[in-house]
Structure 1
Amino acid sequence: MTATTWWKHGAIYHIYPRSFADSDGDGVGDLPGITAHLDYLSWLGVEAIWLSPFYRSPQRDFGYDITDHTDVDPLFGTLADFDRLLAEAHRRGLRVILDFVPNHTSIDHPWFAASRTSADDPKRDWYIWRDPAGGGPPNNWRAVTGGPAWTLDPRTGQYYLHSFLPEQPDLNWRHPEVRRAMHRVMQFWLDRGVDGFRIDMVDYLLKDEHFRDEPLDGHGTYEPALARYQLNQPGTLELLRELRDITDGCPGRVLIGEVEYRLPLPRLTGYYGNDDMLHLPINFWLLFTPWQAHDLQTFITAYDGALPGHAWPNWVLGSHDISRMATRLGRDQIRVALMLLFTLRGTPVLYYGDELGMTDVPIPPHQARDPWEGRDPARTPMPWTAGPNAGFSPPEARPWLPPGDPSVNVAAQRADPGSLLNLTRALLAQRRGHAALRNGSYQPAPAPDGVLAYRRVHPDEELLITLNLTGSTLDIPIPGKPLLSTHSGTSRLILPHEGRITMLRAAGHVSEVEQALAPAS
């Protein structure tokens, strides 16, 4: 591990800027609000922050529909505010990762405005235009947001492709000028000093050259993650090599890529290339693996074993696109889930507020904001205090989404040694303090039904992680020194939903541990 591989050492903290802290009282979080809370993130112990888009945008998809990739939307502040955030983060030893959205622009982007003026405009081929077929769309492709992936433009009589909302036309990455323009966007932010990018939907960059229909299943539909022609096309990996070359031109930067959530492992691991594409293709599988010890162990072992020797794992248990971790898994599992996230081999990504156990907030229909429907409950304001507007906005403001449970807040949990927040901080401290957690190997350990156990093995030390996913108290004699429990446990009794990290002080303890954890015959 070196300074250039900092992204292997600690956790990445994902901030949804609209919802983190509102500094100016308009009800929407902003860049100065993030800057004001950098001390909190430094205290928590994360390595880096990843910011969802804050670029100029009409906000039809809350920033993923961009009109200028190299400027800050006034809703979030100014370029000077960003530079200040970056400088203050670096002063505290925090890295800053930006969302890079290369697949599409806003329908209001000057490029698309020019592209749709006529079929002869120089920008026409910067986007994907096709003639109608059979009186309708060019093929059967569907948008991720639902409905056809094509919209007819009456002015020229052709359809344009949008893999997401109709207001988000896809760029044509087969056009060399498009690639060069987006490369310049990356270089713009690298020159300002950012520490890397999380690339949005990298597997959609190239589409089938012949625009063939997707094969349908027995229900007349298809699963986007398994689509043959709309994504994951030959040549995509070459595009990523170009992006990696730009990133590598500034040593110490990281390139992270969002791929389809349920991408099969061979496709997922292919995005590492020969250590010349993505540093971290995001592994979303823990979001969908059944929360049972056997299923988790099976997937974790398969994923760890499927990675090429040069590849580094990564893990996600929360996202701005799905229900919150505490809601999906239940409050009784949140502590053991966080211990899993921070003790597996690889880089963990923590979604803002999950360190507090934030749950989904029911959004009345008249307050719903999400054009896709359903993502608002996991994007509500960060609760800093129990006061008005949860300390997210000034008291007189109206937050863009309603805050959740006022008893779940940073101030209260910082003052409570037994809180989930302080457990998260302790887990991050354990990760920093133990080479076995930072870069030791992962070895599954035998365990009774309902218990997930594994060892993290390093030449200098060996740790055992025991996660009880059941509601039963278990009597498991574990030799070694208890380092941390989710429930302050130190005895041989493992409490319901308890996780424990134990130091195995000598190699000779390994066989005793295996014997102690083995299921009863």
Structure 2
Amino acid sequence: MSGRSGVYLVSAKQSDTGHTYDNSGFQEKDHSVGYSPTNGVNIQDAPGAKPMPEKPYRGMGKEELLYFSSRPFWRRLRMGCIAIVLIGWLALVITVVALVLAYPRCREPDARSWYQKEAVYRIYVPSFKDSNGDGIGDLKGVESKLDYIQDLGFNIFSLSPFYSGDDTGASTLVADFGAGKDETIVDHKSVGEVYGTLADFDSLVAAAHDKGMYVVIDFVPNQSSKNHPWFMDSVANNLGTKRNYYVWADGDVVNPPNNWKSHYDGSAWTLDATRGLYYLHQYSSDTADLNLRSAALRDELESILKFWLDRDVDGFNIRRPGFLYEDFDLRSNPGSGINYADFTPMYTSGQPEVYGLLEQWRMLLQAHNKTNTEKLLMADIDGGMDVTRMYSYCDRSGVQMPLNVLQSNNDCRGTCLRTYVDMWMEATPSGKWASWMGGDENKDRLASSFNSSFIDAFTVATFLLPGTPVLYYGDELGATGLDTSMGGARVSHARAIMPWDNSTHGGFCDNCTTMWTDVAQTVDNSRGELSGLIKDLIALRGEQSFRVGEYAAALRDEAVFSFVREFDGESGYLVAVNLSPDTVTRDFTGSHHTIESEATVALSRGSSYAVDDDADTSKLEIGPYGAVVVSWDYVAKEL
């Protein structure tokens, strides 16, 4: 084998031959090497050795390289280069950290309470389901239909008043279709005989909780029956503890204290012959308005709330809070005439004391809570209430969910719905929660107030807007209610019997000969029941973008109302409804900056698309009174 072997023996022992060995072979030892902290490596010439050059030169040997590289100038140059590299590296790290902190990240979703995640099913108890054949709905009847309510997708139900009151038998209810009987209460802490017992109520609550459902009951703090023990004590004992539980005022036989009118027309004052004073009743003369300025009365009302909290209710719907207080000086309302509508109720509604009282009740619910589950306060906004102040008074928390009922309008189209939504969204403070309600027992039904084609589009919009939808029983069937030609100012036509089937009594009761009123006169099956649509909408509400996502208005015109729901890292959704009788095609891509041109259909109602179809949002077609919901994948935005 020729050449060098490539295997080298290395010894730590100094050679005695005077030779050194490197990769080029043996060389004579010409230099001695020394080191000092000041000058670095110092190669001293051996006798007869060639002197070191004064400057570096190309092709230097390792001794010369070692010599020059150890000089102070080169050491400083090396340290400077290392420092530049370290500083550059540190600057890069700082830049990356700054970009990570500054770049929009996927946010953590806001926490949602149970009432924000679910939808509410509102029940008028006397008309929902009769369990004992007396022709009047009751609590056992409600319990028997919990599976029906939950199968629709609702996990919250709200009950109309079921308390002990004046005779609420069938004959009494029929007299005015139940209007006014909700407030003729004689005992706020017991169940009316026709509705069952406290044991029935406890059974209903337990059964609901076993199914993961929540129970909200009505709280009626504004008035009671004249037959209530409080009122009878207030009448009989002018010096008793309850003498100020009601609103009393002087007047003569001919002239009441002022011009205040009842909602049912006529004077809001009735002279009590025993006490010789007028008592106030803003509604029926069978009821008397409570005086919320009495501290003792407020304590009584708080004890009522605690009583039902101890029976594990999940929340309260405060009835008519706008009328809890009246003007202290009993000043007459502006206007003239004989009917309620002839006057502006400046001094009988929306008084400032209401908001502080709502806050006190909210704090009571927080403090008197044995389940550690947030308790809900709902309240209607009738009575000139300022919605913003209902939510938060003096930077404190009021009711969580004022109820926003759509007003009747038989010609409601895109601009009508836009006005309804915008007014409520603007009234809802940041961080607070909206509600969307098509009706209740004190308003006409949706199917009686709007053309039937409108209801689908309205339902899609309100179930997918930020907030909690509230559905009135029977609206899922398109029920129209009682004949509107019957009755007068006190009649609510939305209290008809729930039609469970096509039998004589509509499945409302078994073995009953009469019912307190008629079955809902018609059920609109021409477009199919709303039940299937509601189930689909509630399922869609479970998506993160609808549950916690932001809301942004999209394209709107006379026919179309649309909006976007989206959340970081989740699919975006466009909800578009057509409130006209014609098929429309619109370009939605420019109406909001996140809408993608290529999308997938998530829901279709009254349109040609099927779920999972591809859709071009630049030419999205929506059928007459139809609705389309499309989604697209989240796309991270670049800096």
TM-score by length of 2: 0.73
In structure 2, the residue matched to 1:280 is 401
Higher mean alpha-carbon deviation, 477-486 vs 4-13, is at: 477-486
Deviations 1:495-517, CA, capped at 9 Å, x for gaps: 101011111334599xxxxxxxx
Deviations 1:133-173, CA, capped at 9 Å, x for gaps: 69411011111222111101112221000111111101111
In structure 2, the residue matched to 1:247 is 365
SS of equivalent residue, structure 1 residue 481: strand
| Cα distance in 1 for residues equivalent to 2:343 and 2:434 | 20
SS of equivalent residue, structure 2 residue 184: coil
Residue pair 2:135, 2:512 contacting (<8 A) in 1 also? no
| Cα distance in 2 for residues equivalent to 1:330 and 1:289 | 6
Deviation at 1:391, TM superposition (A): 0.3
Structure 1: gaps spanning 5 or more residues: 510-521
AA matched with 2:378? I
Deviations 1:420-478, CA, capped at 9 Å, x for gaps: 2111111111112x122223222111244311111112222321111100000113366
SS of equivalent residue, structure 1 residue 446: strand
SS of equivalent residue, structure 2 residue 231: helix
SS of equivalent residue, structure 2 residue 362: helix
| Cα distance in 1 for residues equivalent to 2:161 and 2:148 | 21
In structure 1, the residue matched to 2:250 is 131
| Cα distance in 2 for residues equivalent to 1:87 and 1:225 | 47
In structure 2, the residue matched to 1:49 is 157
1:298 and 2:419 matched: yes
In structure 2, the residue matched to 1:29 is 137
Supply the RMSD in Å over aligned alpha carbons: 2.6
In structure 2, the residue matched to 1:238 is 356
Q: Residues 234 and 364 of structure 1: is their aligned pair in 2 closer, same or farther, counting only changes over 3 Å?
A: closer
Q: Residues 226 and 93 of structure 1: is their aligned pair in 2 closer, same or farther, counting only changes over 3 Å?
A: farther
Residue pair 2:483, 2:521 contacting (<8 A) in 1 also? no
Higher mean alpha-carbon deviation, 270-279 vs 56-65, is at: 56-65
Q: Residues 331 and 244 of structure 1: is their aligned pair in 2 closer, same or farther, counting only changes over 3 Å?
A: same
In structure 2, the residue matched to 1:166 is 285
Identity rate of aligned residues, in percent?
A: 33
AA matched with 1:337? F
Deviation at 1:362, TM superposition (A): 1.6
| Cα distance in 1 for residues equivalent to 2:418 and 2:396 | 27
Give the alignment of 1:91-170 within 5 angstroms.
91-132=210-251, 135-170=254-289
SS of equivalent residue, structure 1 residue 197: strand
Decide which of 532, 545, 548 is 1:439's aligned counterpart: 548
In structure 2, the residue matched to 1:466 is 576
Q: Residues 225 and 270 of structure 1: is their aligned pair in 2 closer, same or farther, counting only changes over 3 Å?
A: farther
Aligned length: 493
In structure 1, the residue matched to 2:504 is 388
Give the alignment of 1:157-236 within 5 angstroms.
157-216=276-335, 227-236=345-354
Q: Residues 326 and 198 of structure 1: is their aligned pair in 2 closer, same or farther, counting only changes over 3 Å?
A: same
Q: Residues 226 and 311 of structure 1: is their aligned pair in 2 closer, same or farther, counting only changes over 3 Å?
A: farther
Residue pair 1:208, 1:230 contacting (<8 A) in 2 also? yes
Q: Residues 287 and 244 of structure 1: is their aligned pair in 2 closer, same or farther, counting only changes over 3 Å?
A: farther
| Cα distance in 2 for residues equivalent to 1:139 and 1:382 | 42
In structure 1, the residue matched to 2:565 is 456
Give the alignment of 1:396-411 within 5 angstroms.
396-405=512-521
Higher mean alpha-carbon deviation, 280-289 vs 56-65, is at: 280-289
| Cα distance in 1 for residues equivalent to 2:407 and 2:573 | 22
In structure 1, the residue matched to 2:434 is 313
The structure, 1 or 2, with the larger RCO (C-alpha pairs under 8 Å, 6+ apart) is: 1
Residue pair 1:389, 1:395 contacting (<8 A) in 2 also? no
Decide which of 403, 414, 427 is 2:537's aligned counterpart: 427
TM-score by length of 1: 0.88
Higher mean alpha-carbon deviation, 43-52 vs 139-148, is at: 139-148
In structure 1, the residue matched to 2:115 is 7
Deviation at 1:357, TM superposition (A): 0.9
| Cα distance in 1 for residues equivalent to 2:244 and 2:380 | 25
Q: Residues 350 and 18 of structure 1: is their aligned pair in 2 closer, same or farther, counting only changes over 3 Å?
A: same
| Cα distance in 1 for residues equivalent to 2:434 and 2:484 | 35
Highest Rg: 1 or 2? 2
| Cα distance in 2 for residues equivalent to 1:446 and 1:504 | 17
SS of equivalent residue, structure 1 residue 67: strand
| Cα distance in 2 for residues equivalent to 1:271 and 1:164 | 23
Residue pair 2:498, 2:519 contacting (<8 A) in 1 also? yes
Deviations 1:332-378, CA, capped at 9 Å, x for gaps: 1121121122011111111001111111332785xx6xx85331x31
